[in-house]
Amino acid sequence: MKGEKEEGGEAVKESLEILLSREQIAARVDRLADQINRDYENKKPLLVCILKGAVVFLSDLMRRLTLPVEIDFMAVSSYGQSTSTSGIVRILKDLEYTVSEKDVLVVEDIVDTGLTLNYLCKNLLQRRPRSLKVASLLDKPERRKVDFIPDYLGFSIPDHFVVGYGLDFDERYRHLPDICILKRRAPVQD
Ligand code: IMP
Ligand code: MG
């Protein structure tokens, strides 16, 4: 897919290259679900989906779980309209229910600098869940600013900005079924 976006009057060329196909993602999500089904046997985990990026992962993952799961949503923001992190984490939408005595499994799209999940986990732990684990579809370990290792991980990827399967750039591309590297190129000046 190719596109152009006006920025300051200049058309920035964007192109997409598939990094992980829908088939690769489906196979990996299957295996993650198997692992979660085993680990949470006889439990009723509360899946906490981090909006908006993780919605597609959540909906695929939860349909493969054979456990009596509950779901809730949180929205946090650490990014403006740029591809680099600001380091500031704000809770834009909090959980509907209390998590005390629940086995909480946070479902996230990607761990990048680690700032978001590091902050979120500290915040959730203060609410005294019975247990707290994190499932992230993607991880970009090269970009880490704070130590963070997800308990369940789909794919570790190199340092590229990726979109699709829920992930966006400036709210675009979330609907793509594959995970793609977004390449942006400013027009060449002569
Ligand atoms: P962190 O706090 O730097 O770990 O940022 C995590 C959040 O940044 C993720 O939940 C995503 O919303 C966003 N993010 C990081 N890398 C990417 C990317 O390559 N594509 C789209 N969103 C990203
Ligand atoms: Mg996110």
Give me the pLDDT at residue 8, please. 62
- The total of other beta-carbon atoms located within 10 Å of residue 112's CB is 25
Predicted model pTM: 0.92
Cβ proximity of 21 and 178 under 8 Å:
yes
Give me the pLDDT at residue 96, please. 96
- Which phi and psi (to 5°) does residue 133 adopt? -135, 165
Q: State how far the Cα of 127 lies from the Cα of 81, in Å rounded to an integer.
A: 31
- Binding-site residues, ligand 1, Cβ < 6 A: 53, 78-79, 85, 108-116, 161-163, 167
Q: Which of 84, 112, 155 to mutate to test the pocket of ligand 1 (most atoms within 8 A of CB)?
A: 112
Average pLDDT for runs of 10 along the chain of length 190: 65 94 98 98 98 98 98 84 61 95 98 93 96 98 94 98 97 98 81
The sign of the dihedral angle between the CA atoms of 73, 84, 29, 118 is negative
What's the token pair of residue 43?
A: 């439990």
Going from the Cα of 187 to the center of ligand 2, the distance in angstroms, rounded, reads 30
In the chain, the amino acid numbered 9 is G
- Residue positions annotated with a catalytic role: 112
Domains of the chain in sequence order: 21-159 (3.40.50.2020)
Give me the pLDDT at residue 87, please. 59
Q: DSSP for 120-189, please give it.
A: HHHHHHTT--SEEEEEEEEE-GGG-SS----SEEEEE--S--EEBTTB-BTTBSTT-SSEEEEEEEPPPP
Going from the Cα of 52 to the center of ligand 2, the distance in angstroms, rounded, reads 6
Q: What is the pLDDT of residues 74-114, one digit of tens each?
A: 999 875 545 455 556 889 999 998 999 999 999 999 999 99
Going from the Cα of 81 to the center of ligand 2, the distance in angstroms, rounded, reads 13
